[in-house]
Structure 1
């Protein structure tokens, strides 16, 4: 294995794990920080990407590892798929929930929901360049260089992406948001979130690998943040108490299984496409 790549990965992992706690420390010495918009929260958000950039500069790495090029040629279909994945799966989940009477859709109002969805797209798009992209982009590219198998890549990327959320779940995230999604303690919410992120990571990693660009993944994540989170947190739907862990569009087991299947489907496509290139000698 390439010792330089291993060193870079270790440095990245260490800084990522510490980033949120550094942010919490900063907030602790700066009084009257606004909830949900503090300097510490900003540090937590941007430090993984800044770390990846710094590592690339000082180690004279390859900037193509980030996947900053949009690679539109031959990948327009993947951009379209990225736009549709969350709406389609969410619709399936809502249909299952309504059929089983686990989800109440009576409070759903399409027009204000569309306005809310549209109004958050720009902000979430910018945010998601930092939230996720260093993991399914930079980190994935480094793990591929180490010739790790797909399952190890999913586990490492998903686990680190989840662990990075620890300070967010345990400190930064408002308690009201946690209770709206899953009425449990912060610690249990964090554990469930890690498992959820690992399941969803397959989809992000494979979309990055099949397009060699972070931008379809950023689009995918942006649609998720603007569509799914407000649906639950803003009260457009209500879930029967005790069924959240099963059917929640954000954190439900059924939902995570569906996204896992989507990711594995993209993986199958990528592997078949790579096999065809080998057969054709390309």
Structure 2
């Protein structure tokens, strides 16, 4: 299918969300005028100077709200979007390696080039979620040990807190796919000592996580593995929820896929969990039953802000 975006009205950032009055119900996209966006070109190389094809390149604004990502071509070349007249950070990732963030001051030309290649030299990790046509919407949730802030035990990466590669936690969720299939990719360029936990939430849509079936692939260190939800222990429920008449409580389905632990010397050990778990709507995630303090921007959002 093909379509055309039509400019209509303006949205104003109030500090936590874009707010606008709309004249009709349809799909709206808050974006910048095309004249304010440029293309930044460059190349991704390995440590021997060879071009790297199919590497993911992420552009993220510094002091301006914008992000984009693309993949390199067969020659390791890329062209990614950025905002004119603003600083930006660029990171390349493939498998278990990433580049160090490269910061650049973006000028006003329509096409600009990075002065140096992005070199894959930093250990990294990636988690990829894919699924079938149903359910429509599955969500990735990653709990990261929050060692950089003594006030919290974990940082929660999800659709409402997609992270950043510019500062802690140096981890980002690439997209919130709400229309089946995925992929949703969580990628990180820094590992923190402690335990990471990864869950998949059945947010909406018919069917079950196991019947889809959902699949998750983890790449970290020298470890590579794919989990299939059809092999998970426990039971998933049609539509992703069920109502308990005895407790008068509605529960949501989650798939706890794995944990991995990073030691003080950077060693990584992976624990396969592969289990269906449930959480009440009041808990909003099985991790909220842990004896831990979790940093979650969603709980700090204004009342009434939903997912979509």
Asked whether the two chains share a fold, i.e. TM above 0.5, the reply is no
**TM class by smaller structure:** under 0.3
Bigger Cα Rg: 2
Query: Relative contact order (C-alpha < 8 Å, sep 6+): which is higher?
Result: 1
Higher helix share: 1
TM, length-normalised to structure 2:
0.23
More strand by share: 2
